[in-house]
């Protein structure tokens, strides 16, 4: 993945068209000139200034630094009334610290073990094949948007089936996720959030009454030393599974296809190896390093003044580790701008590090690997329908998300 030198100058605005046009150049500028600095996150409807850390060693250290916390503010204790749908978002596992985080992770980790995830592989293979069959049955003539017509519906169907969303609720479920994950107004986001919370509440109520083999039923039954998830924790966990499992994975699939089509030598190497060979797993890790779906973790709050590289991050400030910048740090990765599916070792931070390492990493890896295998097996002549320079990332802070990925299936 070659980076064309581009002039970069402060202020850095993540979410601007300039940043989206060349994220690696901005990451390099930050590592070199402001390893601990401030940037603006521009979400369109709202924006905020945050501190960011961009070098590998600092990002890795930050993810285990007790001076930084995900959940420093207790609205109830402070007498602040928080709407239920916002309270559920802030009750998810990745917004907890310390003993509370360990308790929740222990309760919910069993559905995400590598062995259990691998058992789902055949189910994902069938779903991916079915989606390609539907594209064929439609008699699609001309370019196909791989993001919209393959990666998104495969991932959506997998997560819907995993959590037990029934056929009747799937259109409503998809509308809620689309609004929440879209780049529309703050009102659109709020409406999507409320819709998903309502769907999640209905789903949990049904699974309490009639448990099945899905993840929600498993979470309801989760028990460790007599402990169980309370209603808020359960709703928050299901909500986070839906949103994180949907958005991050379909973009990982899309990004992987884009990277492999841009590098035909790497794709040829991958195609020459068996589906159960280690190179397929290595390829997913390299995509997670070079073009991860999410480029940073959630903001943490400094609980005291923190000195870094001559900068003082004041107590109460929001701080974000730019994992995508760390993953291209030449102090750790040889020739870091090169896309190399044989890279080893590859200690990237694409799925985080420490206690907040992504709980769904194994699921995302498996889904992306199987979806790629099915796609390239069924369509060996798959090719981009536009010049690589015409592919554009959406100007969304902390995401690597293509607007579309037009391809010829061949």
Measured CA to CA, the distance from residue 314 to residue 323 in angstroms comes to 22
Question: What pLDDT is attached to residue 3?
Answer: 44
- 303 in any annotated domain: yes
Question: What pLDDT is attached to residue 119?
Answer: 78
Question: How confident is the model over 175-210, as pLDDT tens digits?
Answer: 777 766 665 667 777 777 788 778 888 888 888 899
Q: Where are the beta strands (DSSP E) in 149-275?
A: none
The band of 355, judged by pLDDT with boundaries at 50, 70 and 90, is confident
End-to-end CA distance of the chain: 24
Q: CB neighbours (10 Å) of residue 138? A: 10
Q: What radius of gyration, in Å, describes the C-alpha atoms of the chain?
A: 21
Complete DSSP assignment for 22-51: -HHHHHHHHHHH-SEEEEEEE-SS-EEEEE
Looking at residue 296, what DSSP letter applies?
B
- 146 in any annotated domain: yes
- 7 in any annotated domain: no
* Residue that has been written with the tokens 């448990």 in this structure: 211
Q: At what angle do helices 186-209 and 231-262 cross, to 10 degrees?
A: 120
With a CB cutoff of 8 Å and minimum separation 6, the contacts of 290 are: 1, 259, 327, 328, 339
Looking at residue 148, what DSSP letter applies?
I
- 4 in any annotated domain: no
Asked if 396 and 47 touch (Cβ cutoff 8 Å), the reply is: no
Q: Quick check: 158 pLDDT over 90?
A: no
- Domain containing 262 equals 13-408
- Residue 216, domain CATH: 1.10.630.10
- 254 in any annotated domain: yes
Highest mean pLDDT among 39-53, 175-189, 303-317, 343-357: 303-317
Q: How large is the average pLDDT for residues 110-137?
A: 84
- 71 in any annotated domain: yes
With a CB cutoff of 8 Å and minimum separation 6, the contacts of 214 are: 161, 162, 163, 164, 207
Question: What pLDDT is attached to residue 286?
Answer: 98
- 402 in any annotated domain: yes
> Which helix (H) or strand (E) segment is 144 a member of?
strand 144-145
DSSP lists the bridge partners of residue 53 as 36, 321
Q: Quick check: 152 pLDDT over 50?
A: yes
Number of domain units in the chain: 1
Interstrand relation of 406-408 and 318-321 (parallel, antiparallel or unpaired): unpaired
- 384 in any annotated domain: yes
* Residue that has been written with the tokens 């089936």 in this structure: 161
Token code pair at residue 83: 């709407």
The band of 85, judged by pLDDT with boundaries at 50, 70 and 90, is low
Number of residues that this document lists for the chain = 410
Measured CA to CA, the distance from residue 189 to residue 150 in angstroms comes to 24
Question: How confident is the model over 295-304, as pLDDT tens digits?
Answer: 998 888 999 9
Look at 333 and 93; give whichever has higher pLDDT.
333
């Amino acid at each position: 993945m070659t980076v064309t030198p581009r002039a970069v100058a402060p202020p850095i605005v993540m979410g601007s068209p300039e940043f989206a046009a060349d994220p690696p150049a901005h990451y390099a500028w930050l590592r070199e000139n402001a390893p601990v600095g401030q940037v603006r996150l521009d979400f369109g409807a709202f924006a905020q200034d945050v501190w960011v850390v961009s070098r590998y060693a600092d990002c890795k250290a930050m993810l285990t630094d007790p001076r930084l916390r995900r959940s420093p503010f207790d609205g109830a204790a402070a007498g602040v009334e928080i709407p239920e749908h916002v309270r559920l978002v802030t009750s998810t596992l990745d917004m907890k610290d310390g003993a509370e985080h360990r308790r929740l992770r222990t309760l919910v980790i069993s559905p995400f073990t590598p062995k259990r995830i691998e058992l789902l592989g055949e189910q994902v293979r069938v779903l991916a094949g079915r989606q390609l069959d539907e594209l064929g049955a439609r008699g699609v003539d001309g370019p196909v948007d791989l993001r919209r017509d393959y990666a998104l519906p495969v991932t959506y169907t997998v997560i819907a089936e995993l959590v037990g969303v029934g056929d009747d609720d799937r259109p409503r479920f998809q509308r809620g996720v689309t609004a929440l994950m879209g780049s529309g107004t703050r009102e659109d986001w709020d409406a999507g959030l409320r819709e998903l919370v309502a769907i999640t509440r209905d789903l949990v109520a049904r699974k309490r009454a009639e448990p099945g083999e899905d993840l929600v039923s498993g979470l309801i039954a989760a028990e460790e030393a007599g402990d169980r998830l309370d209603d808020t924790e359960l709703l928050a966990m299901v909500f986070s599974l839906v949103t994180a499992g949907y958005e991050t994975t379909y973009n990982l699939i899309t990004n992987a296809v884009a990277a492999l089509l841009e590098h035909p030598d790497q794709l040829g190497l991958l195609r020459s190896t068996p589906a159960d060979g280690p190179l397929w797993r290595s390829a997913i890790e390299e995509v997670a390093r070079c073009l991860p779906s999410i480029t940073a973790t959630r903001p943490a709050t400094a609980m005291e003044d923190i000195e870094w590289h001559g900068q003082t991050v004041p107590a109460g400030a929001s701080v974000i580790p730019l994992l995508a910048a760390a993953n291209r740090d030449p102090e750790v990765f040889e020739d870091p701008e090169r896309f190399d599916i044989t890279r080893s070792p590859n200690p990237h931070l694409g799925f985080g590090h420490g206690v907040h390492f992504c709980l769904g990493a194994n699921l995302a890896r498996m889904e992306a690997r199987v979806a790629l295998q099915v796609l390239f097996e069924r369509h060996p002549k798959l090719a981009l329908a536009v010049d690589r320079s015409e592919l554009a990332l959406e100007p969304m802070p902390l995401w690597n998300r293509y607007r579309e990925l037009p391809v010829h299936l061949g």
